[in-house]
């Protein structure tokens, strides 16, 4: 499954990849990561299709991940599930506004991140459109 990771920080993207590993749960297929460091790159990649889950960094600059999530939910047909990583638990209301499907907070907890991603991957597998 293709996982698109958005953060302007290469270290954050690496932490996400390391926390998830090749497979977030034994019952799921291996993941293939793609990375974007800018909001326009995320939009272009989502327009191409084929992304199964989007992970956004709520602390990204200049376009925050929660705004990118909201834009994707508004503009992308069959938008993939979105996992938002937020800087503070109190930012949960912003994640709700962005329509993120799952939320984890910093610092990255590998178990929490893998568990949230696994849930979104299972959802995507159950509800994805059939190939034409």
Residue labelled with tokens 């390391």: 18
CB 20 within 8 A of CB 117: yes
30 C-beta neighbours (distance < 10 Å), count? 9
Q: What is the CATH number of the domain that holds 88?
A: 3.40.50.2300
At residue 56, what are phi and psi to the nearest 5 degrees? -120, 140
Distance of CA 94 to the CA centre of its chain: 15
Quote the domain boundaries for residue 69: 2-127
Q: Using one digit for the tens of pLDDT, what is the confidence trace for 37-96? A: 999 999 999 999 999 999 999 999 999 999 999 999 999 988 999 999 998 877 888 888
Rounded to two decimals, what is the model's pTM?
A: 0.92
Number of folded domains in the chain?
Answer: 1
């Amino acid at each position: 499954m293709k996982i698109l990771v958005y953060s302007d920080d290469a270290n954050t993207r690496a932490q996400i990849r390391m926390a998830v590993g090749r497979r977030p749960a034994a019952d799921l297929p291996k993941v293939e990561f793609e990375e974007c460091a800018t909001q326009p790159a995320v939009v272009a990649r989502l327009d191409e299709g084929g992304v199964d889950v989007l992970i956004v960094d709520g602390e990204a600059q200049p376009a925050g991940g929660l705004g990118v999530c909201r834009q994707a939910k508004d503009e992308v047909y069959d938008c993939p599930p979105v996992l938002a990583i937020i800087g503070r638990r109190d930012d949960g209301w912003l994640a709700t506004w962005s329509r993120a499907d799952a939320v984890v907070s910093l610092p990255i907890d590998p178990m929490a991140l893998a568990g949230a991603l696994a849930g979104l991957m299972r959802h995507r597998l159950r509800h994805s459109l059939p190939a034409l």
